[in-house]
Structure formats: C-alpha cells, structure tokens
Amino acid sequence: MGMLELDRVWFEVDRVTIVRDIALSPARGTFLALVGPNGSGKTTVLRLLAGLLRPTRGVARLDGRSLAQWSRRAVARQVAVVPQNTHLDFAFTVRDIVAMGRHAHLGRFQPEGPHDRSVIEMALARADLLHLKARLVTGLSGGERQRVLLARSLATEAPIILLDEPTASLDVAHALDTYALCRRLADEGKTIVMAVHDLNAAARYADQVAVLRNGECVAQGATGEVLEPTLLADVFGVEVEVLRSRAGQLNFVFHPRSSVGHAAIPNA
C-alpha cells in the first residue's frame, strides 16, 4: 500500500496550462525533492498527488486506482499533506491540532484509544513540540505552526507525506531537523515528496529529485546525477559554482550570470 503515480498528467485553468505531461512515481522509502523556480508548478504537482486537484488530462493514481475513485477519508489514511500555508486561526492547543491527524482513523464520535494517544505523543516528540503541546496555536510563531502541521501529518501514520516548502518559516536548526526527520522517515519506509527551494538541502537529504520549469519536468532521477551545474544554471538562470566541504560533500554557490565566467568544481 501507499504508491502514488502521476501518469502523463496535465492541469489547466481557463485554458492556461499550469503543468504539462508530468510523469512521477516515487517509490516507497524514497525522499523525492521537487525543485524549480517560483511558478514552475511544484505546489500544483503536490496538490495533484494529494488528489486535491484533478488532472485535465492523464491520471493520478494511488495503489493503481485513480485518485478520483477514492473517498477523501480513504486518501487521508494513505497520504498526509503539510501545506505551505500556516494559517491556524482557531484557539486550539498544539495537541488538539496534532490529534486531528487521527480523524481519518476514528469514527465521528469515537474517542481516542491508547494507540491514538501514543501516536500523537510520538508525533509531538518527533517535531520537537512536547514542551508546547498545551499552548494555543494562535500564540505560536510561523515556524512553530509549521512544525505543528508536520506533527499532524505524522499522527496520521500515512505511508506517504507530501510537504510544500515546509522549512520556509523555520530557523536554521529546525529546518535541518525537518530535513533530517524526513530522511529518517524515508529510511523507515515512508514516501516523502517535498517541494524544496534549498538545493543544497535537496542534494544532502533527498535521494531522488525532479526538476520543474514552466510546468514541465525537465529532469528526474538520482539526486547526485540530476543536480549538476549545467542543468541548474539553465533552469534557474544563474551561474553555479560547486564547492567541496571538508567532509567531501558538494555544495552549490549561485551567482548572477555576469559575475562568474563558468561553473567549476574545485579539486578535493
């Protein structure tokens, strides 16, 4: 269970094409990073994978069946979504919001059982929120709210988690924690698909990458093979310098096109 696929998917609004001919099928246990300039279609692809948008052409499938054939409740058990929008305007506690991740598993008036409570506590712990669980979400920072949404997704126990730039509001330490947590979740067998702006983080933590430009997927595959200077320079319209850290890891440095003559990889 828990296999998502976009099969030659197009999505159009008022005859304007947003994404075209997208084919993605992230394997279980894969951390797939979606990268590309603003407006390249990353959020739309995530919403198509979640079944929140229906393709104009092509098919989005979950476990071999069109997502259109699944109930929203059934999809919610399989696919958790962490949106970029962190608006949480009601005076719920952090634990209340995280516990909402269990709704797909409980009947309308069914109380939490021991397993539900255990899952909620684990989700709070993994998102570093145990010390905030009694706080009202209306009093939290944007970064703390983003971690609440991440914890809610963990509480669903869904085998697939889709994340739309989840580190945009986080400080450096918590951003690194989030990437590392997603890497561990993939290693534990979950499928992680994340829209990412930080290409160095994508290179460090993701094992697969799909590069989007103007609604098309121009490259996808193993991160180390796809994220290379020539492609990145072309897609993002910059010059790319590659530096090697003391640990041997490659890091990208980006420059306006006029300031660097060519992309280079210094000797180790």
Give the span between the Cα atoms of 143 and 42, in whole angstroms.
Answer: 21
Please report the pLDDT score of residue 183 as a whole number: 96
Q: How far is CA 172 from CA 31, 57, 154, in A?
A: 20, 40, 21
Span of 60-69, 129-138, 186-195, 237-246 with lowest mean pLDDT: 237-246
- Reported confidence tier of residue 265, pLDDT bands at 50, 70, 90: very low
Answer whether residue 218 shows pLDDT above 50: yes
C-alpha closest to that of 160 among 22, 51, 17: 51
- 42-53 pLDDT per residue, tens: 999 999 999 999
- 78-115 pLDDT per residue, tens: 999 999 876 777 889 999 999 999 999 987 778 899 99
Q: Is 209 helix (H, G, I), strand (E, B) or coil?
A: strand
% pLDDT > 90, the chain: 80
Give the span between the Cα atoms of 69 and 149, in whole angstroms.
Answer: 27
CB 19 within 8 A of CB 10: yes
Segments in 142-198 forming alpha helices (H): 142-155, 172-187
Answer whether residue 209 shows pLDDT above 70: yes
- Reported confidence tier of residue 263, pLDDT bands at 50, 70, 90: very low
- Average confidence (pLDDT) over 34-39: 96
Q: What is the pTM of this model?
A: 0.91
More confident residue, 244 or 22: 22
Helix, strand, coil tally for the chain in percent (to 5): 35, 25, 35
Please report the pLDDT score of residue 31 as a whole number: 98
> 63-100 as b/e, with b when 16 or more CB fall inside 10 Å?
eeeebeebeeeebbbbbbbbbbebebeeebebbbbbbe
CB 32 within 8 A of CB 194: yes
- 150-180 pLDDT per residue, tens: 999 999 999 999 999 999 888 999 999 999 9
Please report the pLDDT score of residue 266 as a whole number: 46
Give the span between the Cα atoms of 146 and 127, in whole angstroms.
Answer: 10
% pLDDT > 70, the chain: 95
Q: What is the mean pLDDT of the chain?
A: 91
CB 6 within 8 A of CB 45: yes
Span of 18-32, 185-199, 217-231, 236-250 with lowest mean pLDDT: 236-250
In the sheet that 57-62 helps form, which strands lie side by side, from edge to edge? 16-24, 4-13, 57-62, 65-66
DSSP letters for 71-140: -HHHHHHHEEEE-S-----S--BHHHHHHGGGGGGS-TTPPP-HHHHHHHHHHHHHTT-GGGTTSBGGGS
What domains, with CATH codes, occur in the chain? 4-227 (3.40.50.300), 228-268 (no CATH)
